[in-house]
Amino acid sequence: MGQIAIRNLRKVFNNGENEIVAVDDLDFTIKDGEFLVLVGPSGCGKSTTLRCIAGLESVSSGEIVVDGDDVTHSNPSARDMAMVFQSYALYPHMTARENMAFGLKMTTDMAKADINDRVEDVAEVTGIEDLLEKKPGELSGGQQQRVALGRAIVRDPSVFLMDEPLSNLDAKLRSQMRMELQNLQQELDVTTIYVTHDQTEAMTMGDRIAVLNDGELQQVGTPLECYHEPANRFVAGFIGSPSMNFLDVTLADTTFEHDSFTYTLTETTTSELEANDGAYTLGIRPEDITLTAPDDPNAIEATVNVVEPLGDVSHINIDIGSKTYTASIDGTPRLQPGETVHVTFPEDDIHVFDAESGEALK
């Protein structure tokens, strides 16, 4: 079991004269066995949220309820949660075996031999059987992270809390560990809250992701929901790489008017949009931009700025008017910087945001 309900969670830090609202009225539920990724830019309140759930930080108001029990003011040790930190936080003078066994020794009355069996079982699952007699200083970053994970798993908690556990690893090892961690979580079926600022990690690992900005929840949904139906401009810009392009336009009847082009919608899209004439922000994913012929009614003239061929796809920076946008074009098109091209995008793929609030309208 491990369903976690976060109810109107608020955390304010008082730094002398300044009040910092780190977490602002957070409210959502994490399902039993779910892998939920808390993602957002640096300083948005991810770690503080996780620390409140773990009991390492007191809450200013709100509730944390685990399987119906209000644990808001319980001691960390009474919460049946195991935390994995970015810094691994292993005891340097203990071997991997001792590090993994330590929590069980201190908090249970399990017999020494049973603890040892349990440590060895978990070492097998995390692939560190051969490292058990080594101390952290003798292990690589990836190996230390496996020991830290093993130490959390040994305790057999209802919930794993992970704070950027892979960010000290190099890119290749990180992507390998991402997959291993995901498989392990599925096998163990333990509710997991995983904090990261890396949207790729969020997209690839989470059953659902919760996007935070400035301490406020922006959207909770599956990675694809957040990608295809972002709730607002912030989520749209944060999720996806390269980022969504934003274009300031005004709507006049069925036509979006930009400083440098016009784009006319069909009746169907116009009625679906239910928008009045006025100011909007269009959001276009780089992969939705295509090259087109100059006589396409919705062709937009652009100048090629930078071409980045990646093999299967090329990222092309194009200038439209005074602004630069990114297009992802399949393969390696023969384009030269300075060249004039015509581009367009299907109207089905256009995202429309309220220019002021940023709220998604389509």
Instruction: Give contact residues for ligand ATP (rule: CB under 6 A).
Output: 13, 15, 20, 22, 40, 42-48, 197
Burial tier of 116 (Cβ tally within 10 Å: 0-12, 13-18, 19+): middle
Separation CA 242–CA 310 (nearest Å): 13
Compute the least distance from the CB of residue 55 to ligand ATP, in Å: 15
Question: How many residues in total does the chain contain?
Answer: 362
Indicate the residue among 47 and 191 with the shorter CB distance to ligand ATP. Answer: 47
Indicate the residue among 164 and 288 with the shorter CB distance to ligand ATP. Answer: 164
**CB-based contact 202:37 (threshold 8 Å):** yes
CA–chain centroid gap for 70, Å, is: 27
Compute the least distance from the CB of residue 200 to ligand ATP, in Å: 15
Indicate the residue among 20 and 224 with the shorter CB distance to ligand ATP. Answer: 20
CA distances from 83 to 45, 86, 157, 169, 232 (A): 17, 10, 10, 18, 31
Separation CA 296–CA 274 (nearest Å): 26
SS3 288: helix
Indicate the residue among 213 and 260 with the shorter CB distance to ligand ATP. Answer: 213
Indicate the residue among 15 and 322 with the shorter CB distance to ligand ATP. Answer: 15
Separation CA 77–CA 211 (nearest Å): 28
Compute the least distance from the CB of residue 11 to ligand ATP, in Å: 8
Quote the DSSP letter at residue 296: S
242 upstream amide cis, omega within 30 of 0: yes
CA–chain centroid gap for 271, Å, is: 33
Interstrand relation of 313-320 and 300-309 (parallel, antiparallel or unpaired)? antiparallel
Separation CA 274–CA 319 (nearest Å): 30
Burial tier of 239 (Cβ tally within 10 Å: 0-12, 13-18, 19+): buried
Indicate the residue among 14 and 336 with the shorter CB distance to ligand ATP. Answer: 14
Compute the least distance from the CB of residue 160 to ligand ATP, in Å: 17
Indicate the residue among 1 and 56 with the shorter CB distance to ligand ATP. Answer: 56
Compute the least distance from the CB of residue 62 to ligand ATP, in Å: 15
Indicate the residue among 20 and 252 with the shorter CB distance to ligand ATP. Answer: 20
Compute the least distance from the CB of residue 215 to ligand ATP, in Å: 7
Compute the least distance from the CB of residue 233 to ligand ATP, in Å: 19
Compute the least distance from the CB of residue 152 to ligand ATP, in Å: 19
Any bridge partners for residue 330, and if so which?
313
